[in-house]
Amino acid sequence: MAKPVKIMETVLRDGHQSLCATRMRYSQMEPMLESLDNVGYKALEAWGGATFDTCLRFLDEDPWERLDKLKAKLKKTPIQMLLRGQNLLGYNHYSNDVVEKFVKCASKHGIGVFRIFDALNDVRNLKVAIKAALECPEKPEVQGCLVYTISPVHSNETFVELAKELKEMGCHSICIKDMSGLLAPYVAYDLVTKLKAALGDTPVELHTHCTSGFGHATYIKAMEAGVDIIDCALSPFSSDTSQPCTETIIAMNENSKHEKIDIPIEIVNARDESKKLDRQALTPIAKHFLGVKQELIKEFGLKGYFDVNVNVLDFQIPGGMLSNLANQLKEAGMEDKYQDLLDEMPRVRADAGYPPLVTPSSQIVGTMATFNVMSGERYKMVPNEFKDLVRGKFGRTPVAVDKKFITKTLNIPADQIIEDCSVEDAKAETFEQFKKEIVDKGFLNPTDEDVLSYALFPQVAEEFFRKHYKKIEAYKR
């Protein structure tokens, strides 16, 4: 009997986020939504990550309205979102009531799968979001993430222990989130084998990128080890710094029964495992999105492709982040310092306690490394976000940061070191406080969704409101 493997499609979110700066509009998605819905994907990732910010900031779209439109078209396939635990989709920790309200609103608007992660793999930052998602009346799938990284303190065994914690917290499935393409094929085989043994019937999903060149090979070995779901992107938005190609993965396994493996692999329809996914049915969909990609590259002046860089195994910064840092050096007339930047990143990461590098930790560590290179002196200029990371505001780092580094090198008073980030979360602005701010700015009777948009991105959301909502100033003399 063949081993069934399902595909989660990322073309509507991480595919275009990885290659085209998240610039795809709803109008460019809409013509193919019905076709995507009929493919038989396990889910379609279409919300979360940078989509929320980009809708408001660059595309003049309300992200909540986009979700409603997506849900109206996607009647068979669950919509998946990426959620950063206590960070939600922003770059700060939010109060528990804001997290709870956001999760419930997202579920009500159509999110069927919540993929929830924390940049530091600190489960304390996941508890509120996971509990809120489990309590949603719509009964979405709640997926907990292992943010994959390489360091002297991370191992497949530590990731298995984290997975067991997430299962105990109520997660319906577990995802290995390899955001920089660090997971090597044979390491993936070992990790998936151990997860399947430890988790029983709990589905294991694998998400990777092709930044290092490992992607497709890593999926092959993970499938041989028994992974249940893999994340792929349709060809125009696949590979490079994106996910492995959907059509290629299907084609790779069309003849797996002829290979010398114990169990042949079949890429199956998630709604009927007796049927395989039809690769040829994807051709017209891919042709449409190739046109979309060309439109985005032209309109926004994007590169649209990225070279494979196996050195990501050393500096570990996700591809999109690298291009931004390189541009910062260019604008400062210091392009020749790019290799110095790549060399400095692992040193800064070690000083900061070996955090996995994913939003927001990747931006924080990358910016600190850039400052060190540009100033010519390490830690001469230190952003507040880096201070917050090392003093514990974002949670517990994999290795405790040296206190002398915190107090002497960074000049942070010892009484500002945080042992329990949840205590700080309790001090964060509440939903009602954000609502009062909006009303005081003249936007009366805001919806819960408007308040949440403002809570995540205050300046960007306010600019959006000024374009789309009439500001009322009653009884003004």
Q: What is the pLDDT of residues 24-48, one digit of tens each?
A: 999 999 999 999 999 999 999 999 9
pLDDT at 477: 40
Where are the domain boundaries for CATH 1.10.472.90 in the chain?
Answer: 312-425
The sign one gets for the Cα dihedral 389, 392, 398, 400 is: positive
Write b or e for each residue in 396-422: b if 16 or more Cβ atoms lie within 10 A of its Cβ, otherwise e: bbbeebeeeebeeebebeeeeeeeebe
The backbone torsions φ and ψ at residue 110, rounded to the nearest 5 degrees and listed phi first, read 130, 5
pLDDT at 278: 94
pLDDT at 122: 94
pLDDT at 476: 44
**Contact criterion met (CB below 8 Å) for 170 and 141:** no
Could you give the dihedral angle defined by the CA atoms of residues 58, 60, 63 and 65, in that order, rounded to the nearest 10 degrees?
Answer: -160
- H/E element, 174: strand 173-177
Q: What is the Cα–Cα distance from 302 to 20, expressed in whole angstroms?
A: 6
Q: Which CATH number fits domain 312-425: 3.40.50.920, 1.10.472.90, 1.20.140.10, 3.40.50.300?
A: 1.10.472.90
At the top level of CATH, the class of 431-468 is mainly alpha
Q: Mind listing the pLDDT tens digit for each residue in 191-215?
A: 999 999 999 999 999 999 999 999 9
pLDDT at 475: 44
3-299: CATH number: 3.20.20.70
| Three-state DSSP state, 111 | strand
- Give how far the C-alpha of residue 261 lies from the chain's centroid of Cα atoms, to the nearest Å: 33
- H/E element, 147: strand 141-147
Where are the domain boundaries for CATH 3.20.20.70 in the chain?
Answer: 3-299
The backbone torsions φ and ψ at residue 6, rounded to the nearest 5 degrees and listed phi first, read -105, 155
pLDDT at 99: 97
pLDDT at 320: 60
DSSP strand pairing (265-269 vs 3-9): parallel
pLDDT at 56: 96
pLDDT at 384: 93
Whether omega for the bond prior to residue 4 falls within 30 degrees of 0, making it cis, is no
What residues in the chain have per-residue pLDDT under 70?
1, 256-262, 319-320, 322-324, 327, 423, 426, 470-477
pLDDT at 116: 98
Where are the domain boundaries for CATH 1.10.10 in the chain?
Answer: 431-468
Q: What is the Cα–Cα distance from 463 to 185, expressed in whole angstroms?
A: 46
DSSP state of 233: B
Going by C-alpha positions, the residue among 82, 119, 121 that lies closest to residue 366 is 119
The pTM (predicted TM-score) of the whole model is 0.93
Residues 6+ apart with CB under 8 A from 2: 256, 257, 263, 264, 265, 266
- Give how far the C-alpha of residue 42 lies from the chain's centroid of Cα atoms, to the nearest Å: 18
| Three-state DSSP state, 450 | helix
